A and B are shown apart, each in its own frame.
Chain A
């Protein structure tokens, strides 16, 4: 098992374009989380899946953001009509147990909107 994988590692896009990121969790982990980390800040929770069900969404997840985990394995995070304020590191994490057992994080996708 190679841990939590995120693709791409870096993405530069023009304002107004749509982008999609992928996260492959550790295979036996049924819980998957998305976080956003802006420069100089700690990660901020976006959303959480248990298997294919999206069980919690943060207020940070505006209507332009959508996340899916169609078969309870990999997940995608799509941002529509990107804005400069969307520039951040998008982190994915997975866990076998609940949040308080701790996560395994991926290396993140760094998004730059120009």
Chain B
């Protein structure tokens, strides 16, 4: 079975600051994928970024980047130049290659202060 742990229930930073959200996971599989999903208040969850475990290069999407440490089973999300619209719940998730259901962490509530 897979587990995903997000140890920061809530974080708050000032607009334009950089913030890092932590995620650790556990799996015995070698072929897997990791994700960060964003769930804004009362809106649907959207995919922020994904990482294939077999790729050593960290994924980046504009202001969002990850620090993937495979040996440590760590997958943190860095948001640069944070904006008010980044306020949301952020979920780390994992799926095993060939499987269908994602395993999500409990989420981190990120608040961007003006």
With A4-B44, A105-B44 known to touch, is A99 a contact of B91 (CB < 8 Å)? Answer: no
Residues from chain B with Cβ under 8 Å of A56 in the complex: 100-101
B45 touching A91 by the CB < 8 A rule?
yes
Question: B12-46: contact bitstring with A at CB < 8 Å (1 yes, 0 no)?
Answer: 00000000000000000000010101000011111
By a CB distance below 8 angstroms, the chain A residues around B42 are 107
B99 touches A105 (CB 8 A): no
The reply to whether B45 and A99 contact each other, CB–CB distance below 8 Å, is no
Q: How far is the CB of A36 from chain B (nearest CB, A)?
A: 11
In this complex, how many residues of chain B approach chain A with their Cβ under 8 Å: the count is 25
Given A100-B50, A102-B35, A102-B50; A43-B104 close (CB under 8 Å):
yes
**Chain B proximity mask over A72-114: 1 for CB below 8 Å, otherwise 0:** 0000000000000000000101000011101101111000000
A107→B39 CA distance, assembly (Å): 10
State the Cβ distance, B92 to closest chain A Cβ, in Å.
8
By beta carbon, the residue of chain B nearest A42 is: B104
Q: Say how far A57's CB is from chain B's closest CB, in angstroms.
A: 10
Smallest CB separation, A49 vs chain B (Å): 10
Q: Which residues of A contact B93 (CB under 8 A)?
A: 42
Does B78 lie at the interface of the complex (its beta carbon under 8 Å from any beta carbon of A)? no
Which of B42, B52, B104 has its CB near the most chain A CB atoms (within 10 A)?
A: B104
B44 CB → nearest A CB, Å: 5
Q: Which residues of B contact A42 (CB under 8 A)?
A: 4, 91, 93, 104-107
B contacts, CB < 8 Å to A: 4, 33, 35, 37, 42-47, 50, 52, 91, 93, 95, 97, 99-107
15 chain-A/chain-B pairs, Cβ below 8 angstroms: A3-B44, A33-B101, A40-B106, A41-B106, A42-B4, A42-B93, A43-B102, A45-B101, A56-B101, A93-B45, A98-B100, A99-B99, A99-B102, A100-B50, A105-B44
Residues on A close to B: CB < 8 A?
Answer: 3-4, 31, 33, 40-45, 48, 55-56, 58, 91, 93, 98-100, 102-103, 105-108
